[in-house]
Amino acid sequence: MKTPLFRLLFLVVLGVSLTRCSISLSGVSLDPELRTFFVPNFKNNAENAQPSLSITLTEALKDKVRTESRLILSENDPDIEFKGTLVDYRISAEAPRTGESTAINRLTITLAVEYYNNRKNEQVWKRNFSFFYDFSSSVDFSAVEEDAIRSISNQLMEDIFNAAFSNW
């Protein structure tokens, strides 16, 4: 007789406990009181970067947060906010060959991102995120630029998202 009552009581206590905890789905950990986010357009301080790249990266972060968390995009009094600056867009030679040429070139993009919790009126962190894409020096950069930017952007957004919402 006590077993069904005990199970019912256990399930009720478990249910109440889970509603009080932060929500964690697939590694995402959010305070239940956080409901909205905002990402103003990133500034572009990188030399040689496409003028629209900072906007592309801003939209990528908005999409990442919107699709992989329960947060709603809102400009009006957001609970959390990401501010960022595109600080570096650089192509460098990575694999020297005999003579004066290289076998591989590397595009590196670096973003400086600040993460704010407006509910607590605090800056949670400020850090740089950087990633690269290697391509053959025999290929014209304009032929791989779009793929390179997409690949780098995907990894940068994953890193920013994990830093903000996964306890890594």
The per-residue pLDDT for range 16-54, each reduced to its tens digit, is 344 333 333 445 678 889 999 999 999 999 999 999 999
Is residue 75 assigned to a domain?
Answer: yes
**Single pTM value for the model:** 0.80
38-51 b/e (C-beta count within 10 Å ≥ 16 → b): bbeebebebeebee
Is residue 151 assigned to a domain?
Answer: yes
Is residue 4 assigned to a domain?
Answer: no
Q: How many domains does one find in the chain?
A: 1
114 or 23, which is more confident? 114
Is residue 43 assigned to a domain?
Answer: yes
Domain of residue 43 covers 26-165
Query: CB atoms < 10 A from the CB of 106, how many?
Result: 16
Is residue 3 assigned to a domain?
Answer: no
**Which pLDDT score, from 0 to 100, does residue 100 have?**
64
- For residues 59 and 129, what is the distance between their CA atoms, to the nearest angstrom? 16
Is residue 15 assigned to a domain?
Answer: no
CATH number of the domain encompassing residue 67? 3.40.50.10610
Is residue 74 assigned to a domain?
Answer: yes
Percent of the chain predicted with pLDDT > 70:
79
Mean pLDDT over each residue of the chain, to the nearest integer: 86
Of residues 165, 151, 163, 164, the one with CA closest to residue 60: 151
pLDDT per position as a tens digit, 63-78: 999 999 999 999 999 9
Is residue 20 assigned to a domain?
Answer: no
